[in-house]
Structure 1
Amino acid sequence: MNSTSIKVACSNCNLRELCMPLGLNESEMERVDEVVATRRKVTRGDNLFRNGDKFNALFAIRTGFFKTRISSEDGRDQVTGFQMAGEIIGLDGIVSDHHTCDAVALEDAEVCVMPFDRIEELSREITSLQRHVHKIMSREIVRENGVMLLLGSMRAEERLAAFLLNLVQRLHARGFSQSELVLRMTREEIGSYLGLKLETVSRTFSKFVEDGIVEVKQRHVRILNPDALKLIVNAQTCQPG
């Protein structure tokens, strides 16, 4: 894992509206640019941070895809989330000044490093930045509640349908197709996140293919009938995840 000293300018980043508050004036934007001073490259399979690492920064994902995971005492990994470009990662460290999970790159990635003490300092002066930080934290709580709902009350088909709809919706917000996606994670990682066995994930994908809802070619998924997926989710709200 190596840090680069490329100067980052949020003001001319095409993901700015996804991870920065709207409506900052020029001088406020310059001050944010000063805070977000470096980018870090993370190679596929490497950790951005590990459980137990000292917390000192939030990371805005510029390119690439991550998974967060926790390890149980018997050594099994539990995937707790998938994060993509334009999303903020590292919020788990705010509570105790130490990270409570591992963040692993699922493909070569680049993040913008946002030292948290500087962000806090600046958000006291720029109220829209403070609101934005609170909104990100709130989104994380809503996401966790959504995952609990997913794991607690949904059948396998509902879980996978909600997962695919949520993923495509987040990718669409970044300008990608509303119906096609490349899964950066393995079936096993999807199963770990959704609380399903690998065979169940594979079987459910096959059922969706048979029913003409999706088309699957290895990691490429094409959603042929989004309404059918929505019906499967049964009007349960699909939370960010």
Structure 2
Amino acid sequence: MSDVAAYSVIAPALIRPPASAAAAQMPLSAGAPRKDVRRCSACSMRSICMPQGLTPEELQGIESLICPSRTIKQGETIYRANDSFQSIYAVRAGSFKTVVMHRDGREHVTGFHLAGDSLGLDGVCSGHHSCDAVALEDSKVCIIPFHLLEAMCREVKAVQQHVHRMMGGEIVRESSQMMLLGTMSAEQRVATFLLNLSDRLRMRGYSPAEFHLRMTREEIGSYLGIKLETVSRMLSRFQRDGLLDTHGKDIRILDHDGLARV
């Protein structure tokens, strides 16, 4: 199974946590962090969603442009398809799905996003969002006005490089999804989903073997291009083969290498 596919094709569900134009011209050192924003330096997701190697002044500059964090209730949206693009969003806590609607009203899931991931980059190209971003559970996001971020990119090379990496990551994710849908069997798609989830949890310091899914099997099937029943059948097969243990949405990987050989 492709390492690229296993790593980048799917952003998983959240796990259980362990036991104005003038402002755009403001120099980095001119503003103190807003009092209603938790300091990025104290955020557990900093290593994932922030560029590394920032000076204290540069970090303060980033904190000064972040709008107050916003709580999104389960089932609510941050933005909808065709909404004007204004900001990008960093997921501080919780999880989201991005979806597009077919003409007949059916929903197609295009991605899952968890703490440390960014949302909204789909609007950069056209100036309008191309999908809906829906909370899978009560979640919280940091709001970053894009015109202010662009101004900072001109001042701080590390921020510019980080934005480029995020955009590049979106390209890799979309191309990997095309490979998944076009070349992999249903069994391989579900295995890739689980392997990717395991890897992402490991990167965040959580257990790579035990996790709780926040999305439904129907949503997983929609993303993988297979039916709900097929997702359930593949999970049952993996359990029967001794690769994992499932109890509802609780997943325990028993044989990582065996799952990778599917």
Instruction: Report the TM-score when normalising by structure 2.
Output: 0.85
Asked if the contact 1:56–1:116 (Cα under 8 Å) also holds between the matched residues in 2, the reply is: yes
How far apart are the structure 2 equivalents of 1:7 and 1:205?
Answer: 41
Quote the residue 1:80 is aligned against: 110
* 8 Å Cα contact 1:38/1:113 also seen in 2: yes
Deviation per residue, 1:125-149 (Å, 9 max, x gap): 1011000000000001001111101
- Distance (Å, rounded) in 1 between the aligned partners of 2:37 and 2:195: 36
- Decide which of 172, 181, 184 is 1:142's aligned counterpart: 172
Deviation at 1:15, TM superposition (A): 1.0
| Matched-pair contact (CA < 8 Å) for 1:8–1:36 | no
SS of corresponding position for 2:215: coil
CA deviation after TM superposition for structure 1 residue 11, in Å:
2.3
Distance 2:200 2:133 in 1: 19
**Percent same amino acid among aligned pairs?**
49
Instruction: Indicate the RMSD between aligned Cα atoms, in angstroms.
Output: 0.9
Could you tell me how far apart the structure 2 residues matched to 1:72 and 1:130 are? 35
The answer to whether structure 1 residue 207 and structure 2 residue 224 are counterparts is no
Report the counterpart of residue 236 of structure 1 in structure 2.
Answer: none
- 1:108 is aligned, of 96, 113, 138, to 138
- What are the ranges of 5 or more consecutive residues in structure 2 without an aligned counterpart? 1-34
Partner of 1:125: 155
SS at structure 2 position matched to 1:158? helix
Q: Cα offset for 1:73?
A: 1.2
Q: Distance in 2 between matches of 1:144 and 1:117?
A: 25
TM-score (norm 1): 0.93
Q: Deviations over 1:92-135 (max 9, x none)?
A: 01111111100000011000000000000001110110000000
Q: Higher relative contact order at CA 8 Å, sep ≥6: structure 1 or structure 2?
A: 2
**TM superposition shift of 1:33:** 0.6
Paired residue secondary structure (1:41): strand
* Alpha-carbon separation, structure 1, partners of 2:140 and 2:181: 31
**Cα deviation 1:149-171 (Å, max 9, x = unaligned):** 10000001100000111012112
Matches of 2:44 and 2:103 in 1, distance apart? 41
**1:164 matches 2:202:** no
**What SS does the corresponding residue of 1:107 show, helix, strand or coil?**
coil
